[in-house]
Chains A and B, each alone.
Chain A
Amino acid sequence: MSSTNDSDKDKRAQSGFSRRSWLRGAGIGTGAVGAGVLAPEAEAQAAPKVLSGEVEISLDINGRKRSVKVEPRTTLLDALRNRMDLTGAKRVCDRGTCGACTVSVNGKIVYGCTMLAVDAVGKNIQTIEGLAPEGQLHPVSAAFVNNDAQQCGYCTPGFVMAAKGFLDKHPNPSREEVEKGLAGNICRCGTYVGVRAAVLEAAKNYKGGSNA
């Protein structure tokens, strides 16, 4: 059995099926059939150039406007982590399952890995760094410390953001509501007992956004 370079990913790259190359094809007037009418030689030259382009956008983060260069495909999470040095949100599953990248967008809790940075333009983004000034602890963070709701701590910022967002909407939750409300975040060390206690404790000290 033999094959050449036939992983799906490689095929996609060779055919140049990226947003940029499609646009480039459209630009010379051949539209969606562009790849088909290009001479094989030209295609061979063009093929490896999966072109990307950066544009400068302005994001409203933690109450401040910040300029950042991103590609169309750059997620909000990658823009924060790789391009703005806001690393509280973590990249773990990178496909909207684990919640380690949780941030708040227009007051709504979202997974930073499932939103493109360009889609976040004009929206009010809050990351964990914006919860409290450096050296101070937001009441939700403080409750995580008190209840040892962290071990390695890599999931913790996502949990804190999710917990704050949950408490903003459910200021007096029951234990069952906490369990359901925070089911979108995953911890590998197994800190859930502490997390559950922390959110219930935080509910007492933190009331619906007043400390935000």
Chain B
Amino acid sequence: MKPNGFLAKLVNFVEMDEFRAENYTLGDKAKTPISEDNPANKWLAANQGKEQSVRSRVYHWFDARGLDIFTTLYRFMSVIICVTLVSVLLSVIAALPPFGNPTNPDVNEVVERYVSKGTEETGAVNAVAGMISAYRGFDTLGEAHVLFVAACSVIVLLRVDPEERKHGVLLDIPETGEDMDFEPNGDEILRKSAKLLVPLSFIFGMYVILNGASSPGGGFSGGSLIGAGLILNSVAFGFHRTERFFGDEMYHLVKTACLTAYAAMMAYFIFMGANQLPDHVWLGIPGTIFSGGLILPINFVVGLEVACTMYCFYALFRKGGL
């Protein structure tokens, strides 16, 4: 026997949600329409205009309005919880040491060594680059793989197999056609400005990557510039132009080569460091491009990886493939 009343509606609500999930397949709409036999609607339809005892009116009032009450209560509670959380966190911030104060607990021997001996130990004038790529290089290795795993997940979710695309199996193609059919969209202003900006953003990206050890920037920021250039290129000239030099195979090649090289360099560095062996890395001349020892090649591979990931996200969301 199914429960009735308020509980039934809640169950019905949840089941409808699951029903939708189960019947939702990519490409075709839900095959069967969702049944409208909500007990509340049925009751209201059956009892319209009838005389009611007070008791049944009260009972059915809750029956008919329970879900609304629940929803209202839910909204109300969520606001209360958020406000409480915000006020707790704000009072914590008020209790924390003020930002940038020289007597703060985070101004200690750790930071002091990064700043005062960083250039000497890592070869990088940029203390941030020295810290993220050398002192705490293992974290950054993990961070690069976070990007990789994120890109792979987006591929899992959005990549459409070229064969399936050809046969139209999986895609729910609207009658007006896909985004792809309107490429390139032929905007003259966009194309002219892209002609100017794309090479600029590539060159500036490379500049930021190569000077990562001696000035603000590095692999992550330079890589996003290059990625932005790639995206702009395909927006202005269409995917076909970008695919000529950066397609599926190129993406996989660059990505695998970069991450493997990065892991190999970090593994060598960590292995030598942990075993107290000399690592024979030439630290270079601080302030020039060839400085920072492994920081330069690390910035290079991280930059390429970030550029790949950014373009990969864009291409997958736009057309379901590289």
Asked if A pairs with B, the answer is no
